[in-house]
Every structure is written in structure tokens, then in C-alpha cells.
Amino acid sequence: MTYALVLNSGSSSIKFQLLDPSADANAEPLVSGLVEQIGEPVGVIAIKIRGEKVTVEEPIPNHSVGLERSFEILHEHGVGPHDVDVSAVGHRVVHGGKVFSAPEIINDQVVEMIRDIIPLAPLHNPANVDGIEVAREMLPDIPHVAVFDTGFFADMPPAAALYAINAEVALENGIRRYGFHGTSHEFVSQQVPPLLGKDPKDVHQITLHLGNGASCAAIRGGQAVDTSMGMTPLAGLVMGTRSGDIDPGIIFHLYRTAGLSIDEIDVLLNRKSGVKGLSGVNDFRALHEMIEDGDTDAWSAYNIYIHQLRRYIGSYMIVLGHVDAITFTAGVGENAKFVREDALAGLEMYGIRIDKERNALPNDGAREISTDDSKVKVFVVPTNEELAIAQKATELSK
Ligand code: ADP
């Protein structure tokens, strides 16, 4: 059996999986691990190996030590990257800028190009580069592949990708809609044509990735034609802690009149807004409980979230002209039946009918939740970004 190692490096964390790229979308990976609190006095490595959990708490000064220790632990359990056959290492890279529209085999030049994109994604790409460098050093004999979150949206029509701001300034500063969560939108949307029994090139669909971060995409014949995230992942839908779309004038107001610094506004909109900023919690399970208990802030947050989601669904129906399928995915999309029901309530006139019983079934693989007579089919399709990255990395390394 050959495996792929998938790495997702954040500023203070590394997520990894060792998995069979040909496995079923809901198969358990051989290994899944999380290194957290890198650079803090005590770090945590939590790894699940064939279902068994191993947790280690110790100082992890940097990504290099985090990965090295994780590989040691894997080796002790006979599943280190040198104990099993690893054919490729796939790296999740958040921003591919204008240059990367497809996964890329990593060499020194590619690392430099990803580094050049750092100004567009100062919070994400530096950590992605760190992870790539450390992993290449430790596993020099295995091909490394970068898979970009923006890649699926790189060829969107200019009318959707460009903002109506001064063209010269936009060009000079790389300002355009890049879109994110592309690996997930692509992975999930590819599963829809077989569910419909249609040729992928004939399918018009909307995918709703509703996790802590959230975005939606309009997809025609496998090609993304619009998406809600923008130049950064702050745009679009209301998210766990991010505001989504706001009037940009609010930023000037907060700066000039409220006296907030640019960094404070950044933190406010990225981490203290969204559902959490409105209700105090960002987990939809907690939000639901608060609503049941009569909390009016939670109810208001939920309504703002749903209203914004419906705005995007409506606009993408017009962007696409006709829609064959609407698909929910990610933590909220896969599990929160009330969100699915409210997002599509009262749209019978547009051919959308949710079957309440199907919608209430527990999350268990790809499934239809619309009625048999619904013209637009509605699905829940679990996303698996790690598997998608493993498949792309393996394919490119052949
Ligand atoms: P991320 O964007 O961090 O990858 P996920 O896609 O895993 O996040 O989604 C995490 C979110 O999914 C949680 O914050 C929570 O709001 C929601 N969620 C997870 N499980 C459930 C559940 N059983 N019911 C409702 N919401 C859930």
C-alpha cells in the first residue's frame, strides 16, 4: 500500500494526515495528527494512529521540532514516513496568487514564488512556506506538491474576479477576487454529477462550504464562475468569527472616528465578529442551545447568518441561469439540519424543496435531502480536503 502525507501548516500549528489516496471519501486515515501551541511554553502533539490516540505535551519551539517529534512518535508505532511507503507529500497552501492555478511539484523556485505571494496572504503563506521547507528537509527523497486553496478559482470570468476599483491601482497591487476553500468546493462539486446521473459538463451547481470559515461557489460545467470569498478570506458569508461582506466605509469610520488602529480593525473583523461577535459563541451547537433557551442575541446572529447565505444563494441562481443542484458541506453544512432547512425555506417557486425527513438523517456520506419532485436537487456531501490534496499530490508525483 502506498500513502500520501498531507501537511497543513498554520502559524502555531501543523495538521497532518497519512492516508491512502485511493481510499473511500469517508475512510479513516492511517494517521491524523495535530501539533498545537508551537512557540508557546508547552506545546501539544495529538495523534490518532489506526484509531488509537497518543498525546504528548512538551515545549515545541518551532515547526521543525513539531514535525520531527511527530515523525518520531509515528516511527515508535511503526508508521513513520520511512516505515510505510509514502509516494508524495501534499502541502496545503492558502494563496496561489495569479501564478498558480493548479497543483505544482515543489522545487526551490516554486518555494520562492510562494514566498513572493506573502504580501497577499501575510497571515497564512509564511507558515505554509515554513512547513514546506521543514518537510522537504526531513523527507528529501519524496516529491512534495503544493495544492492551492485559490487554485479552483484562478480561471473565473473577469466580470466575477475583478473589483470596480481603479484598474491601475488594482493591477499594481494584485487586487482581485481570488477565492478560497477551492480544494473543498472542487472535491464536493465533482461528486454531484454522478449523484444526478449527468455529464459533469452539463451541470450547473452551487456549493456551500459552511465551516468555521464559510464560502459559496457557483460552478458551471466543473468551472467556478463566482465565489463569495474575495482577495482575502474575510469577504462573503457571515462566518464563525469573521464578518463577511461589510460596507468598506465602516473601516474608515472605525479608524477615523472610533480611533481603532488598522491592526485592531483587522483583529475585530477577522476574530471578534461573525456569529461569535454577535452572540458570544461561534460553534453552531452552542448557538442552537442558546436559541432554544431564548437568547435574543443568538437568535439575531442566526438570522443575520441565514439572511446573508440566502442572498448569495439567490444571486448565484441568477449568475448560473439555471441550477441543477445545491450542495452543503463542512462542519455546519454537514451537521446543522436547521441551517440547511432555513437557508432554502420557501423557495418552492424556484423548484427547491427540502424533504424534512431526509434532511434530519444523521451525517453519513453523500446524500440527497430534497424531495423526489424537487427540480433543483439538494445534497449533503462531506468534504475531505486532505483526501483531495493526497489525490492531487499523488497524481502529480507519478
Ligand atoms: P473549519 O472551518 O475550522 O475546518 P469545520 O468545517 O470543521 O471547520 O466546521 C466547524 C464548525 O462546524 C464548528 O464550529 C461548528 O459550528 C460546526 N459543527 C460541527 N459539528 C456540528 C454539529 N453536530 N451540529 C452543528 N454544528 C456543528
Nearest CA among 360, 386, 398, 35 for reference residue 184: 386
Distance 105 CA to ligand 1 centre (A): 32
Sign of CA dihedral 347, 349, 353, 356: positive
Q: By three-state DSSP, how is residue 380 classified?
A: strand
- Which DSSP symbol is given to 259? -
Element (H, E) at 327: strand 325-329
Q: Is 209 flagged in the annotation as binding?
A: yes
Cβ contacts of residue 356 below 8 Å, gap of 6+?
A: 341
Catalytic residue among 20, 141, 149, 226: 149
Distance 336 CA to ligand 1 centre (A): 9
149 is catalytic: yes
| Cα–Cα distance for residue pair 113/151, rounded to 1 Å | 15
Q: Going edge to edge, which strands form the sheet with 367-368?
A: 223-227, 214-220, 204-210, 325-329, 377-380, 367-368
Full pLDDT tens readout for the chain, 398 residues:
899 999 999 888 999 999 999 998 888 999 999 999 999 999 999 999 988 999 999 999 999 999 999 999 999 999 999 999 999 999 999 999 989 999 999 999 999 999 999 988 888 889 999 999 999 999 999 999 999 999 999 999 999 999 999 999 999 999 999 999 999 999 999 999 999 999 999 999 999 999 999 999 999 999 999 999 999 999 999 999 999 999 999 999 999 999 999 999 999 999 999 999 999 999 999 999 999 999 999 999 999 999 999 999 999 999 999 999 999 999 999 999 999 999 999 999 999 999 999 999 988 899 999 999 999 999 999 999 999 999 999 999 98
| Cα–Cα distance for residue pair 391/398, rounded to 1 Å | 11
Where do the CATH 3.30.420.40 domains begin and end in the chain? 2-148, 197-385
Pairing of strands 43-49, 52-58: antiparallel
pTM score, whole prediction: 0.95
Atom of ligand 1 nearest to the CA of 363: 23
Count of CB atoms situated within 10 Å of the CB of 262: 9
Q: By three-state DSSP, how is residue 272 classified?
A: coil
Count of CB atoms situated within 10 Å of the CB of 397: 17
pLDDT digits (tens, 9 = 90+) for 144-180: 999 999 999 999 999 999 999 999 999 999 999 999 9
Q: Please tell me the residue having the least CA distance from ligand 1 atom 27.
A: 332
- The reply to whether CATH 3.60.15.10 applies to domain 2-148 is no
Which residue is associated with the grid cell 480544494? 183
Q: Which fold has domain 197-385?
A: Nucleotidyltransferase; domain 5 (3.30.420)
